[in-house]
Amino acid sequence: MMLDDFLMRAALAGLGVAIAAAPLGSFVVWRRMAYFGDATAHAAILGVAVALAFSMSVFVGALVMSLIMATTVSTLSGRGFAMDTLLGVLAHSALAFGLVAVSFLSGVRIDLMAYLFGDILAVSQGDLAVIWGGAALVLGLLAWRWQALLTATLSPDLAYSAGIDPRREQLVLTLALAVVVAVAIKVVGVLLIAAMLIVPAAAARPLASTPERMALIATLIAAASALGGLRASFAMDTPTGPTIVCAAAMIFAATTLGSSLWRRHRSPSVL
């Protein structure tokens, strides 16, 4: 295993993002938080601009802005704002302000397309350390709070009766989501991070009978999408980030169609 090989580094980066995003994506799907992930991801571009302006780490800038966005959405939700409207305003505003801020950076060379759609082939060994460190943090958070998160997701009232604070569990998810956005920005870009959160989990849903099994299957699907998309991109000379998402989308179509056909086959014919 040669980490000097850019394809090996790209494969390891894709796997790192997959094992971080897929289990978290299961909660995003269960809680119907797709737009929440989108808004958090879009805020990362503003974080990139701030980081470059102050000569900070891009990872730190993206993480801080993602946390601010996620916390803002959590705070404003339930205070008279329609959630879909709030998320739409914040997501697109953050992306627009980020793109405008980047245009003001003089003397800084930035490949905007790499941050929008990812540049997995340019991942360095330092990036790998950040990605896998972030993945370990996310998995640790989810393992630590798994049962509490499931209970709060199932029913806030049930969570309160069990001594669990749903707002605290929401904060755990918020932190995990911000970390995933920060580590995934180099691999799939801010415009595709939400897809990597949602599509593998949605593809796993028809195949799973328990939450734990769904999270595991989603992780396997995300890993297969990352490796398969990387190989297809290299073979067909296509953009790697979008190709990875396309691979996940194809698996989603296959599992959805397969489960539909299976249910039709198992159900008795009605004359």
Domains with residue ranges and CATH for the chain? 6-191 (1.10.3470.10)
Query: What is the per-residue pLDDT for 227?
Result: 93
Radius of gyration of the CA atoms of the chain, in A: 19
The single-letter code of the amino acid at 243 is T
Looking at the DSSP bridge assignments, the partners of residue 77 are 81
80 has a pLDDT exceeding 70: no
pLDDT at 94: 84
Q: Poorest-confidence range of 49-63, 76-90, 186-200? A: 76-90
Task: Give the mean pLDDT of the chain.
Answer: 84
Q: Which residue carries 């980066």 as its tokens?
A: 13
What is the spatial distance between Cα 69 and Cα 56, in angstroms, rounded to a whole number?
Answer: 19
Specify the 3-state DSSP secondary structure of 119.
Answer: coil
More confident residue, 254 or 106: 254
Position 203 pLDDT exceeds 90: yes
> Is the pLDDT score of 152 beyond 90?
no
CA dist., res. 62 & res. 217, Å (int): 28
pLDDT tens per residue across span 40-54: 888 888 888 888 888
Distance of CA 169 to the CA centre of its chain: 18
More confident call, 168 vs 220? 220
Q: CA 100 to CA 49: how far, in whole Å?
A: 9
Residue appearing with tokens 């870009």: 189
Residue 240 has pLDDT above 80, yes or no: yes
DSSP 77: B
Give the model's confidence band at 77: pLDDT under 50 very low, under 70 low, under 90 confident, else very high: low
Q: Is-contact 216 201, C-beta < 8 A? A: no
Per-residue DSSP letter, 99: H
Q: What percent of the chain has pLDDT over 70?
A: 92
pLDDT of amino acid 214: 93
Tokens (6 digits) for 170: 């929401």
**Which residue, 198, 172, 142, is CA-closest to 28?**
198
Q: What three-state secondary structure class fits 33?
A: coil
